[in-house]
Amino acid sequence: MKYYIIAGEASGDLHGSNLIKELHHNDHEAVIRCWGGEKMQAAGATLVKHYRDLAFMGFVEVLKNIRTIFSNLAFCKEDILAHQPDVLILIDYPGFNLRIAKWVKAQNIRVVYYISPQVWAWKENRVKMMKQCIDQMLVILPFEQPYYQTKWNWNVEYVGHPLMEEIDRFKSEDAQTLQHTGNHSKPIIALLPGSRKQEILKKLPVMLEVSKQFPDYQFIVAKAPGLDSSFYDELLTPYTNVSYVSNQTYSLLHHATAALVTSGTATLETALFEVPEVVCYKGNEISYQIAKRLINIKYISLVNLIMDKEVVKELIQHEMNTENLTQELRAILPGAEKRAHMLQHYKQLRAVLQAGGHASSAAAKAILSGIKAV
């Protein structure tokens, strides 16, 4: 069987790599071609294009790079036609992937979507088109299955959240040491400012200023894959109690006392490592103002969305400043009452997600069953 998989972000590369391993486990003759990253390549797929060449965030940034985006779309279509896969598997990344899905469906190639676009947050009108061009939707958030069924009369499959298996696997390994250049005697506060240069430049400088208020702690930044060390060196030089680590985000979270985390998958990863966190978002002002008027959700962090209540504090745009961050960080350090409450909510979150089972295995089996049923 020939599979073509498209992931456009670091998290998609991670989940795609685990899916690829399970596809190979269930289909020993699988031939897999992908858009993604090193993890998907290492799992046994032929890498066509790296996600770092695809990542454009926000309305303004997309407009600036519109030519590159259209060029990537054209190249992707040519490559799919040349290799004629039995199934196209799309992982999140909806701006690009939904365009490809619509085109591929017209080519009579089966379309599977793993990790649903967040249409429950915005652009709900996409669902009508999605139902027409997606043969099989596999969702990873527990509230998504009833959302699609109740509101859109669409039977989608809930396969569990892939982060559960990834973090449990990490915790079961022996090698959990953290290699860093900081002060090994001070407790750690983790800084997770994102994976794209443009979002890091908005958030990390504010996070770094907070470090001055906590001399008894060391702050360690999780460096994004694909970004040069010199980029971080320039930002961190003025701060004596800040360092960074590369390719050690899970080790960092495993050892951290608390964390400042940009919105996205990292907020859920931090919670599953049971690290009290403050969620931070700051973006291009024009993009933010547009998004604020279009997005229809109560929270921006996956932790709060899944639990349907404020478990972690979210500081968004102008609220994300040094004073607020300092105050909220103090409130979740050891000895603080808010910390104990947050950790209790984390246990409830884990129980909710554990009910879904092993996502990568369930997704691979569902994909194969869907192909055989055609």
Domains identified in the chain, total number: 2
Residue 174 maps to a domain: no
Closest CA to 285 of 257, 255, 316: 316
pLDDT at 260: 98
Asked whether residue 177 is domain-assigned, the answer is: no
| pLDDT score for 153 | 97
Q: What is the pLDDT along the chain (374 residues), one digit of tens a residue?
A: 999 999 988 889 999 999 999 999 999 999 999 999 999 999 999 999 998 777 655 555 556 666 777 888 999 999 999 999 999 999 999 989 999 999 999 999 999 999 999 898 878 989 999 999 999 999 999 999 999 999 999 999 999 999 999 898 898 875 568 888 887 889 999 999 998 888 899 999 999 999 999 999 999 999 987 789 999 999 999 999 999 999 899 999 999 999 999 978 899 999 999 999 999 988 665 655 555 555 667 888 999 999 999 999 999 988 999 999 999 999 999 999 999 999 999 999 999 898 878 999 999 999 999 998 87
202 and 144 share one domain = no
Q: Is residue 181 part of a domain?
A: no
Decide if 183 is inside a domain.
Answer: no
Q: Are residues 66 and 126 in the same domain?
A: yes
Q: Let me know if residue 225 belongs to a domain.
A: yes
Whether residue 58 is found in the same domain as residue 148: yes
The label of the residue with tokens 């300092």 reads 326
Entry pTM: 0.81
Whole-number pLDDT of residue 304: 94
- Per-residue confidence (pLDDT) for residue 293, from 0 to 100: 53
pLDDT (0 to 100) of residue 116: 95
Report phi then psi at 47, rounded to 5.
-85, 120
| pLDDT reported for residue 55 | 60
Element (H, E) at 306: helix 302-307
Q: What is the CATH number of the domain that holds 364?
A: 3.40.50.2000
Tell me whether residue 138 is in a domain. yes
Domain assignment present for residue 142? The answer is yes
Q: Does one domain contain both 149 and 251?
A: no
The parent domain of residue 108 ranges over 2-160+356-373
Look at residue 176 and tell me if it is in a domain: no
Alpha-helix runs per DSSP H in 53-125: 59-64, 66-83, 94-105
Which of 248, 266, 256 is closest to 178 using CA atoms? Answer: 248
CB-CB contact of 26 with 368 (8 Å): yes
